[in-house]
Amino acid sequence: MSDGFTQPLTLTLGHLYPDQLNLYGDRGNILTLRRRCQLRGIELRIVGLGIGDALAPDEYDILFIGGGQDKEQAPVAQDLHEMKGIGLWAAIEDDMPVLAVCGGFQLLAHYYRPAEGPDMQGLGVFDAWTIHKGARTARCIGNIAISWNGQTLVGFENHGGRTYLGTAKPLGKVLKGYGNNAEDSTEGAIYRNAYGTYLHGSLLPKNPHFADYLIKLALQRKYRSDFDTGQEKPEEFNGHIHIDQMPVDDSRQLESTTDNIASSLLPLDDLLEWEAHASVLVRLGLRNEATAVLTAQRMRKG
Amino acid sequence: MRKQRPSQSMPPKIDGEQQESQNNPSQSTNTVPQRQPNRKKRRQHVLRAGLAVVAGRAAGAISRRLHLGGGTSVVGIVAQRIYPEIIEHLATQIEYGTVIVTGTNGKTTTSGFIATILRDSGLRVWHNREGSNLMRGVASLFVIRAQPNGQMRRSGKRAISILEIDEATIPQIVKAIEPRVAVFNNLFRDQLDRYGEVDSIISHWRKAISQMPATTTLVLNADDPSIAHLATGFSGKVLYYGIDDPSLDLQKQRGDSEQYQVSDARTCSNCGHEYRYDLRFYSHIGHYRCTSCELQRPQPDIRATQVQLDSFDRHRITVEHTGQQHEIIVPLPGLYNVYNALAAITAAQAVNTDWQSIITGIEQSKPAFGRGELIQAGDRTIRLLLAKNPTGFNEVLRTVFSEGIARHVLFILNDNIADGQDVSWIWDVDFERAVGHTQSLVVSGTRALDLALRLKYAGIPQKEMTIIPYMPLKGEWGTHQTRQQRGANKKQKKRQTLADPEQLTSQIANSYGLKSALDTALQQTPIGETLFIVPTYTGLLTVHRELEQRGLTPHFWEGKEV
């Protein structure tokens, strides 16, 4: 179903600090994006951006930054400021989709204040900040589910710092778990198309709707900049794309009507993904949500 | 082959002033100087210790009687309640002292090797069993071997204890015991939700090492940069071991598939610059040096100059020590077991064991519980290969799929506390290696779906796997199933589905639980062939219990030593 493109669509993913920030299976997010692109005939090039590498915003279509050990985060924070800050800002202001998980999320907020020692400065993309309240405050560890655009996102969180949002919008509302700070039920942060979150596990494999959403944002941005990205109404792009709206398996059509591309990513057989998703919901005691997810899948299957 | 015991295995001496035993050929100069607490205090302690021993052992007996389990850890818990310093008290009585073994992977196998070697050399070896590697497990080990008068059996004469110690328990154990030898094998990311990050383990270990007396000998893996430089500032003796066989370099072994290796020690512990590898064997294990400062892999004292795969589960290694070469068969699969053997050889050297005992000890070792353990199940063979973290799993996969033969495999992924509740590490495992190399594949465990998804993204078509989750995932799902219901489910028998449109979970085999997974995997394995079971920790316990109940293997707490 993925063949037949004469001129394949290509996207380039910039993977920031793949060696330093790769603690919680972040590779899963990359593998998921790559495979989901591949199955639709989209070529996803992956470029690792390590310490010392510059970030030229026009070379990438989507960026990913993961989480790492404390020791690794300090040099990364410095490099982020000195080498990649301007490029990253330009990319984000230009609506490039960015996914920042865990430590990456913290680095894109204003600062990280450890229990001892000086603050670690972040980029300030998200109007948010993180405070570590010392060893006596328990880490936020466990499975987590949040609501996002009327659907659920599931993952695993493990963070010592508490993140507080200023004007930044949260990614979602915590259904079960800790979230940003275990106090206000917010999880993650959004600025334009940049998404920060504590969810790993990995995040994207079990949340195919979110993975596809990011891919769509990247495609829209690259292939039709004037396309109504529908950021205000992202649910249009999520979940159930009806069979009759699907592009026929006809490369001509896809090739010629690029505006179709983004709104209608070829649906994949994601039953296993959704079952894994639902099983986490069930583990968290969210049975209604799990049933909803599985029922939606059944309806999609017809 | 057991060496002849010294003619007087129990010198007629009672307390403290232990002199060197002249009769002992291999350990003649190596008894541990014992601590001499003042006598009065000691008497009180003896009383309390006696009480603790009696209470602990009684609790253990009751627990076993009531079938609450092996009744091993309860012994230690009760004894420590009554006398918190019980470990300290009893450990000082052990004539040949204590060898502690830690590291992320290989603790059980390494300490098993050491125990076999030292037993072969004629010592009485007290060795904590797999899984009891926390303080209470150590307390149990000692209390079971102590008498109601608070003394070790035979006053600990000719005894040595080999303790596998959980990474995070090292600081506590070092406070209670002055180890004679401390083996640090490797450090990889493991259960980040439980242990914290790798760096925090290193700082705990450094602190613990700084508290060790100069009489302790450190045995360190030269090839693991996180381990090799733990000794900085330590005043005692340090022995290094490592592999010096360039043919094992990953570059040279690169097969057709893209290899993914997680490195958990990327930058120099001294200056923070990246390491460069002249040879890399797996993960961050190899010959490294810092690109900026002087730091590099130390020259090992005990080195394997040649490592050859003899057959699937045997390595032939040439070990060099002070110019002498010894050829040894390591009867276990996996390069990591060569490291475990080297660690054991070096530890045995540290207590001056003769080479004959070392060689026979290694060669006669049996795989430890679930670590390459071979079990005959009727006409089929089962090989159990525990894999509990990315590097461990990668090495197990490398071992299973090394010969290019398509295998029959059962993967079990659990997320219980002892496994680590965060399963995101499976995305760091190189499952791509298994693609096209499985004849039959069953995926089970409490996180079967996560693992199946991982395998799917690795490129294994879903129709090539049978997914047997822990519980059904249905719309009305949620009320915990009773045993009877589960039994009923089992009776429904496996239909390998996709057929039933009513079933929401249409891709999943219509059966649940590890028993069914085991049955299915065995059914899919033809007669005369081997089923490889690769479980996480609690998965291993469950599978083993199941195999025990089927009479295929003895109960694991029915060790030979007690």
ipTM given for this complex: 0.87
Determine the residue of chain A that is closest to B263 in CA distance. Answer: A19
pLDDT at residue A214 tops 80: yes
B 168-187 residues inside an 8 A Cβ radius of A: none
Candidate from A71, A142, A276 with C-beta closest to B450: A276
pLDDT at A198: 96
A149: left (phi over 0), alpha (psi -120 to 50) or beta: left
> Looking at CA atoms only, how far is residue B48 from chain A in angstroms?
34
Number of residues assigned to chain B: 562
- Please check whether residue A156 touches B, CB under 8 A: yes
End-to-end CA separation in angstroms for chain A: 19
Alpha-carbon span B100 to B347, nearest angstrom: 10
Can you state the percent helix, strand and coil of chain B, rounding each to 5?
35, 20, 45
The residues facing B183 across adjacent strands are B101, B219
Mutation target to probe the A interface, by most A beta carbons within 10 A, among B423, B449, B451 is B449
A-chain residues near B477 (CB < 8 A): 282, 287, 290-291
Which runs of consecutive H residues, i.e. helices, occur in B149-289?
Answer: 170-176, 192-195, 198-210, 225-228, 250-253
pLDDT at residue A236 tops 80: no
Give the dihedral sign, CA A233/A239/A245/A250.
positive
Under 8 Å between Cβ of A57 and A94? yes
pLDDT tens digits along A252-302 = 344 434 445 545 788 899 999 999 999 999 999 999 999 999 888 888 776
Residue environment code for B149-175, b if the CB has 16+ CB neighbours within 10 A, otherwise e: ebbbeebbbbbbbbbbbbbbbbebbbe
**Other Cβ atoms closer than 10 A to B479:** 8
Pick the CATH number of B371-549 from 3.90.190.20, 3.10.350.10, 1.10.3720.10, 3.40.50.2000: 3.90.190.20
Superfamily of domain B39-363: Mur-like, catalytic domain (3.40.1190.10)
Q: Kindly list the domain boundaries of chain B, sorted by start residue.
A: 39-363, 371-549
Alpha-carbon span B332 to B384, nearest angstrom: 12
Under 8 Å between Cβ of B547 and B556? no
User: Between helices B39-65 and B135-144, what is the axis angle to 10°?
Assistant: 100
State the amino acid at position B437 in one-letter form. Answer: H
pLDDT tens digits along A113-172 = 988 888 999 999 999 999 998 888 888 999 999 999 999 999 999 999 999 999 999 999
Helix/strand/coil (H/E/C) assignment for every residue in chain A? CCCCCCCCEEEEEEEECCCCCCCCCCHHHHHHHHHHHHCCCEEEEEEEECCCCCCCHHHCCEEEECCCCHHHHHHHHHHHHHHHHHHHHHHHHCCCCEEEECHHHHHHCCEEECCCCCCEECCCCCCEEEECCCCCCCCEEEEEEEEECCEEEEEEEEECCEEEECCCECCEEEEECCCCCCCCCEECEEECCEEEECCECCCCCCCHHHHHHHHHHHHHHHHCCCCCCCCCCHHHHCCCCCHHHCCCCCHHHHHHCHHHHHHCCCCCCCHHHHHHHHHHHHHCCCHHHHHHHHHHHHHHHC
Beta-carbon separation of A202 and B192 below 8 A:
no
| Angle (nearest 5°) at CA B211 between B206 and B214 | 105
Under 8 Å between Cβ of B327 and B318? yes
- Please check whether residue A79 touches B, CB under 8 A: no
- Please check whether residue A90 touches B, CB under 8 A: no
Alpha-carbon span B174 to B184, nearest angstrom: 13
In tens digits, chain B (562 residues) has pLDDT values of 444 444 333 333 333 334 434 444 444 445 555 555 566 666 777 788 888 888 888 888 887 777 666 556 788 888 989 898 999 989 999 999 999 999 999 999 999 999 999 999 999 999 987 668 889 889 988 988 888 888 888 878 899 999 999 999 999 999 999 999 999 999 998 887 777 778 889 999 999 999 999 999 999 999 999 999 999 889 999 999 999 999 998 877 655 444 677 788 888 888 888 899 999 999 999 999 999 998 999 999 999 999 998 888 899 999 999 999 999 999 998 899 999 999 999 999 999 999 999 999 999 998 888 999 999 999 999 999 999 999 999 999 999 998 788 999 999 999 998 898 999 999 999 999 999 999 999 999 999 999 999 999 999 999 999 999 987 775 434 333 434 444 444 434 333 333 333 344 444 556 788 999 999 999 999 999 999 999 999 999 999 999 999 988 876 544 433 2
Under 8 Å between Cβ of B479 and B447? no
Architecture of the CATH domain A9-209: 3-Layer(aba) Sandwich (3.40)
Q: Which 3 state secondary structure label does DSSP give B385?
A: strand
pLDDT at residue A244 tops 50: no
Candidate from A24, A28, A75 with C-beta closest to B192: A24
Whose CA is closest to B232, among B190, B173, B295, B279?
B295
Q: Kindly list the domain boundaries of chain A, sorted by start residue.
A: 9-209, 271-301
Q: Which 3 state secondary structure label does DSSP give B163?
A: strand
Q: Where in the sequence numbering do the catalytic residues of A fall?
A: 102, 200
| C-alpha torsion angle, residues B330, B372, B193, B449 (rounded to 10) | 150
Beta-carbon separation of B424 and A201 below 8 A:
yes
Phi, psi of B325 (to 5 degrees): -115, 140
pTM: 0.82
Under 8 Å between Cβ of B83 and B49? yes
- Please check whether residue B413 touches A, CB under 8 A: no
pLDDT at B259: 63
Residue environment code for B75-87, b if the CB has 16+ CB neighbours within 10 A, otherwise e: bbbbbbebbeebb
Helix (H) or strand (E) segment spanning residue B90: helix B86-91
Q: Which two tokens stand for residue B355?
A: 């080479």
Candidate from B267, B423, B473 with C-beta closest to A275: B473
The residue written with tokens 């002199």 in the block is: B19
pLDDT at B75: 86
Alpha-carbon span A268 to B35, nearest angstrom: 70
Alpha-carbon span B29 to B19, nearest angstrom: 9
Candidate from B272, B424, B456 with C-beta closest to A272: B456
End-to-end CA separation in angstroms for chain B: 22
Determine the residue of chain A that is closest to B458 in CA distance. Answer: A31
β B380-385/B98-102 pair status: unpaired
Alpha-carbon span A88 to A65, nearest angstrom: 11
Under 8 Å between Cβ of B118 and B61? no
> Looking at CA atoms only, how far is residue A4 from chain B in angstroms?
21
- Please check whether residue A38 touches B, CB under 8 A: no
The residues facing A10 across adjacent strands are A43
Alpha-carbon span A41 to A38, nearest angstrom: 5
Number of residues assigned to chain A: 302
> Before B140, cis peptide (omega within 30)?
no
- Give mean pLDDT, residues A177-185: 96
